[in-house]
Amino acid sequence: MSRLSHPGLRVVAQPVPGRPAPGGGLAVLVAVTVLAALAAPHAQALRGLVADPLPVIAAPERPSARPALGSRPARAVAFALAQRSKPYRWGGEGPGAFDCSGLTWAAWRSAGVAIPRTAAGQLAGLPRVRGRLRLGDLVIYRTNGPSRRHVAMLVGRGRMVEARGRGIPVRLTRLRGGWLGAVRPGAGP
């Protein structure tokens, strides 16, 4: 016989003659149901405690692929996200304003990784992404601007942070298709 108790609540699962005693699926189902019922009144308060201002990170290829909270990619992303709403300025490397590659350069620099300063240099000089994009990867686009390249940083599931252009502050936006390539700072060659 299995028991689950809580002050004022008692659940007892009795074995049925001729059947195996519940201890597997049924007992787990009962326990989960009771725990969910007990936690329901507190769900809103719990959500407030665990709410995270960062976007959800894309599911990794394998469990070990997820960046640790203090990992270099996580630190680079946190830096880039903290720059949101700062103005765009051609050649800007911060702290008050950024251009696209100045933002990605400064973000990875804050995480202890040296990368080329320009979007074209980042595309040419960093290891190419093979497979799925991950947190902190840089996505390079073709543009009509003076450098002919634009770079943004992946910060979550289908989201990127970028310093797009004059009059557009650093922002969080959806990942756009049509990119030339993606690179992974801090990865081996």
Do you know the residue count of the chain?
Answer: 189
Which domains does the chain carry?
2-50 (no CATH), 63-183 (3.90.1720.10)
- The answer to whether 138 touches 187, Cβ cutoff 8 Å, is no
Q: Which 3-state string (H, E, C) describes the chain?
A: CEEEEECCEEEEECCCCCCCCCCCHHHHHHHHHHHHHHHHHHHHHHHHHHCCCCCCCCCCCCHHHCCCCCCHHHHHHHHHHHCCCCCECCCCECCCCECHHHHHHHHHHHCCCCCCCCHHHHHHHCCECCCCCCCCCEEEEECCCCCCEEEEEEEECCEEEECCECCECCEEEECCCCCCEEECCCCCC
What percent of the chain stands above pLDDT 70? 62
pLDDT for the residue numbered 64:
39
CB-based contact 138:182 (threshold 8 Å):
yes
Q: CB count, 10 Å around CB of 96? A: 10
- Other Cβ atoms within 10 Å of 136 Cβ, number: 27
Segment 107-163, tens digit of pLDDT: 999 999 999 999 999 999 999 999 999 999 999 999 887 779 999 999 998 999 999
pLDDT for position 52: 39
pLDDT value at position 145? Answer: 74
